[in-house]
Chain A
Amino acid sequence: GVSKPCVHSLSTLLDTPTLSVHLVDVKSETTAHLLLHSLCWSSSSCKVLLHFVNQSGMKTSVSAMEGESLLEVVINKNLQIDGFGACEGTLACSTCHLIFEDGVYEKMEPMADEEMDMLDLAYGLTKLSRLGCQVTVERWMDGMTVRVPQEVKDRREKPEAEI
């Protein structure tokens, strides 16, 4: 009974701030945290621990809310992944591409055709790839690690003498 209203009110709260890539609506985030503390303090069900490995291999751990999308987690927690979520979660690009762990991927909700259409255009597509805007944080995901595709930028780089 505790987790249900928590999920609902939090997701509405987190949906309202403008999903801008650089600015996090501080006020709403603070309110969300207060709400989290008042409703879920005794129950751990609302908080889910997630580990993000960014492009350069650096790991950040955050506690996410059940019901948030992974795109929202990245934005709200200010994870500074360059260019993440360019179309702001409207299934019009593939910039929120994330790679999951083997055991986790199979347990997630199946992909809609539209998600796979966009994912097919993603850099470094793998069999464990999903779009962060389409994955909702669930309780069972506690402790999972998601990876942002590594930069592949240097693979074509030629020695400087050539230019």
Chain B
Amino acid sequence: LQVVMQLFLTVCWLLPYSLATCGLFSRRLSSASGPGPKVCIVGGGPAGFYTAQHLLKARDDMVVDVYERLPVPFGLVRFGVAPDHPEVKNVINTFTQTAQHERCYFYGNVNVGTDVSVEELRKAYHAVVLSYGAEANRSMRVSGEGLAGVFSARDFVGWYNGLPSNKELQPHLNCETVVILGQGNVALDVARILLSPLDLLKKTDITQHALDTLAASRVRRVLIVGRRGPLQIACTIKEVREMINLPDTAADMLPADFESISEALKDLPRPRKRLTELMMKTVKTESGQHKANKSWGFRFLRSPLEVLPGPDGKRVAGIRLAVNKLEGSGEDAKAVPTGQTEDLECGMVISSIGYKSLPIDPCVPFDPRSAIVPNNMGRVKDTAGLYCSGWVKRGPTGVIATTMNDSFDTARMLLKDMDSGMLNLSVNKPGGQEITALLKERGVRAVSFPEWEKINLEEVRRGTAVGKPREKFLDVKDMLAVAWS
């Protein structure tokens, strides 16, 4: 009996072990086809990867596939974050761990909406999360917007950051003054790149064509224009501090803009108070100093009315602004035109008044007014099994931590719906296998994460040769050639 017992115990002890080993093996080989929830994420930017991260961590039977239009992952961390902010790009390390997770698959070079429809994804997966961001920009809707020398900040940022669709932008920086419309962090990024010493930019992953153009730049003055006052400015303090600390660049502010606001200062919440105090301190210390070769400054209470052409009628030579006054106070104050106007001379206008999401598929609800997918805490309105996270969910604002929290929120909601049975997990879903077959039929070849890593290595190698952390490929064709080499 004792022997039998012992044998029994040994088997009991070994069984789970061998089962676990088998399980591990089979999962590695065919993780896309086994039972368990399958979720697909549309968009391989921060929102997509943070959503994936939370889902993978919460359930160890969950398979998450990430679809991305470009062959390269990380969205605006690669194409939006300024090249001189490499610290922010550290989030890529965590995204890479997520993508390398044994239950996560990256499908780059797949355009959801054209290569595969959202309907097809919904059929193949238990849930679909839209996190494709905001690819368009809000337009100023003023005459002269089409003149040469007028750019959207989104295109300008895409150009210096190597977004393939912006590689032909060719901005000529042969003017002294640039006017940027909008006072958010993107506006300040653009201003900083225009005014930074070339030696600093040379050590970043800014594209070589941007570096060459900036080397020949004649830009010496950047004015950053906002429709409301200093107390409503949208940028954050770190970016203002960076402007103040730019070498050989003076702050050119108008002291009158700050005269009436010291009264309101004491009642402000800390972040707004510190930002305002920093600007006021800059006005005081900088006025009367003209030793620097370059300058930047905020211009408040101005809205664009018309971009003015030069004598040739083709290129921008200035901008006409409406002078505003504020109605109400605090964050909700409204800019109201006074009827007065003011012209500013400039050789370049960059509009940085916000990004905008676009509808992806006719079957997905879209609110054209707010340019988001209408949702309740990440659940897409009237569409079971469809979720959203990031900018397409809440609009194009906030820092990376905002998108992180917002993506975790959506993931929590999705998990809750799985637990409650609102999402039916009893049906097996084919997941990535079915979509891969569909794509093959349509002649679309996806870029896997290991294939992206080949692109990554090559970019880093090219960068190292010129003293940069990376030299990005600007052409999708070149990316694919390396990925599939």
Which residues does A use to contact B, with CB under 8 Å? Answer: 18, 20-23, 82-83, 86-88, 90-95, 113-114, 116-118, 120-123, 125, 153, 156-158, 162-163
Contact = CB atoms under 8 A, between A and B. Distances in A.
Given A120-B270, A153-B412, A113 B241 contact: yes
Q: Give the one of A18, A82, A91, A158 with max B CB within 10 A.
A: A82
Given A87-B88, A90-B90, A120-B236, A95 B97 contact: no
B409 A153 contact: yes
Q: Give the one of B85, B90, B97 with max A CB within 10 A.
A: B90
Interface in B269-283: 270-271, 274-275
Given A153-B409, A158-B376, A82 B91 contact: no
A99 B352 CA distance: 36
Contacts of B404: 83, 86, 95
Which of the four size classes fits the interface of chain B?
20 to 34
A118 B242 CA distance: 13
Contacts of A121: 236, 271, 399, 401
B94 A21 contact: yes
Nearest to A162: B376
A113 B376 CA distance: 37
Contacts of A87: 87-88, 90-91, 400
Contacts of A116: 274
A22 B52 CA distance: 14
26 contacts: A18-B93, A20-B94, A20-B97, A22-B94, A22-B97, A23-B97, A82-B57, A83-B404, A83-B408, A86-B90, A86-B401, A87-B87, A87-B400, A88-B90, A90-B87, A92-B87, A93-B88, A93-B91, A113-B241, A116-B274, A117-B238, A118-B238, A120-B275, A122-B401, A125-B271, A156-B377
Contacts of A162: 376
Contact of B405 (A18, A83, A113): A83
B90 A92 contact: yes
B474 interface: no
B381 interface: yes
B315 interface: no
Interface of B: 50, 53-54, 57, 85, 87-88, 90-91, 93-94, 97, 236-238, 241, 270-271, 274-275, 376-377, 379, 381-382, 399-401, 404-405, 408-409, 412
Contacts of A88: 87, 90, 93
A92 B84 CA distance: 12
A93 B238 contact: no
Pairs A-B, 10 closest by C-beta atoms: A90-B87, A120-B271, A92-B87, A88-B90, A163-B376, A117-B238, A92-B88, A117-B237, A87-B90, A83-B404
Given A20-B93, A87-B400, A117-B237, 7 more contacts: A21-B93, A86-B90, A88-B93, A120-B270, A153-B405, A153-B408, A162-B376
Contacts of A95: 401, 404
A122 B91 CA distance: 17
A56 to B, nearest CB: 11
A125 B90 CA distance: 23
Contact of B91 (A18, A86, A91, A163): A86
Nearest to B404: A83
A163 B379 contact: yes
Contacts of A93: 88, 91, 399-401
Nearest to B273: A120
A158 B97 CA distance: 34
A148 to B, nearest CB: 12
Contacts of A23: 97
Contact of A91 (B54, B57, B87, B97): B87
Nearest to B57: A82
B389 to A, nearest CB: 13
Nearest to B58: A82
Contacts of B412: 153
A125 B270 contact: yes
Contacts of B382: 163
B238 A114 contact: yes
Nearest to A159: B376
A118 B236 CA distance: 9
Contacts of A86: 90-91, 94, 400-401, 404
A67 to B, nearest CB: 22
Nearest to A154: B377
Contacts of A20: 93-94, 97
